[in-house]
């Protein structure tokens, strides 16, 4: 009777708590596999899933993953966000951002509590006799400050930069509006009137309209304004739908990664079961004694 030729040892990931592995895999793609010691698979999931997720976010200019309130006091979860939420913690931040965006203090600003100085890009819009000659693309630096010296606050400032590539400097005053701070998209809309100069026609008026950078913590996974979503659909077209598709694919892939951490593995490189070295077979039966037939004695 012979002993087994090899003995299968317990695999490293079976030594870890599957519930902990599943929770970690949900929070951050690949983290559950790192916890189990499956470094190769963990790295693949981490890079591929988060790469698709943040790639879609970048393609959609940051206004892709969000949860918007949907009527009534009970906030229903949209189907798109439900699919994106499979990525875990990076997408669940949208629930917190939704609460911040709903706060009464998050509103459009018509005066500033503190001065701003930021890179600006947009357009100079003209009306009146020089409508065609005055308009142009603006790129430069904008500085604005609200003064409360008089009876009413007044926001004044200056724009320095270029219009259609040519240097220009504009004095700004009145008609100021700055989009709410917490919203989807990494650009924050701003507009202001240009001070009327003596050499302009009396019926001519200029104002600037464009955007300045929005803080990452205020833009990431925050619900965008409907006007921004419409603008992105118009400018990006199918690329905006592709951006949403990337984030959905990332969510679905991480569901498979969670299953792999809890019930896996789906065998692949690095998941092969470890085996102990084989033991040569032994024969415990005593060797049979050789029996030699006696030869006949000579007659």
Please choose, from the candidates 6, 9, 7, 11, the residue with its C-alpha nearest in 3D space to the C-alpha of residue 270.
11
- pTM, two decimal places: 0.75
Return per-residue pLDDT of the chain as tens, 299 residues.
Answer: 444 444 455 566 667 888 999 999 999 999 999 999 899 989 999 999 999 999 999 999 999 999 876 544 445 678 899 999 999 999 999 999 999 999 999 999 999 989 999 999 999 988 766 656 678 899 999 999 998 776 778 899 999 999 998 999 999 988 899 999 999 999 999 999 998 776 666 677 888 999 999 999 999 999 998 889 999 999 999 999 999 999 999 999 999 999 999 887 655 555 655 555 555 555 555 544 444 455 554 44
Give the pLDDT score at 31: 95
Q: Which domains does the chain have, with CATH numbers?
A: 15-102+224-263 (no CATH), 116-216 (2.30.29)
């Amino acid at each position: 009777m012979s002993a087994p030729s090899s003995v299968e040892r317990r695999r490293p990931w079976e030594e870890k708590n599957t519930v902990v592995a599943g929770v970690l895999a949900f929070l951050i793609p690949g983290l559950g596999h790192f916890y189990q010691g499956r470094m190769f698979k963990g790295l693949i999931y981490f890079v591929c899933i988060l790469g698709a997720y943040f790639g879609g976010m970048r393609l959609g200019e940051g206004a892709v993953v969000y949860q918007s309130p949907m009527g009534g006091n009970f906030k229903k979860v949209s189907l798109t966000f439900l699919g994106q939420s499979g990525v875990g913690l990076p997408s669940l931040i949208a629930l917190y951002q939704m609460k911040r965006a709903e706060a009464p203090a998050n509103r459009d600003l018509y005066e500033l509590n503190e001065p701003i100085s930021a890179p600006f890009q947009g357009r100079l819009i003209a009306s009146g006799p020089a409508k065609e000659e005055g308009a142009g693309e603006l790129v430069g630096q904008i500085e604005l400050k609200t003064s409360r010296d008089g009876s009413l606050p007044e926001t004044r400032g200056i724009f320095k930069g270029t219009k259609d590539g040519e240097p220009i400097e504009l004095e700004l005053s009145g008609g100021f509006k700055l989009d709410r701070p917490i919203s989807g998209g990494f650009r924050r809309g701003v507009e202001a009137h240009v001070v009327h100069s003596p050499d302009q026609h009396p019926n001519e008026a200029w104002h600037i309209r464009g955007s300045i950078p929005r803080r990452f913590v205020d833009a990431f996974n925050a619900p965008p304004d409907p006007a921004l979503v419409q603008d992105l659909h118009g400018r990006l077209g199918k690329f905006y739908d592709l951006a949403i598709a990337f984030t959905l694919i990332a969510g679905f892939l991480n569901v498979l990664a969670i299953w792999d951490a809890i019930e896996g593995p789906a065998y692949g490189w690095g998941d092969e079961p470890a085996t102990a070295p084989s033991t040569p077979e032994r024969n415990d039966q005593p060797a049979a004694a050789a029996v030699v037939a006696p030869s006949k004695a000579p007659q």
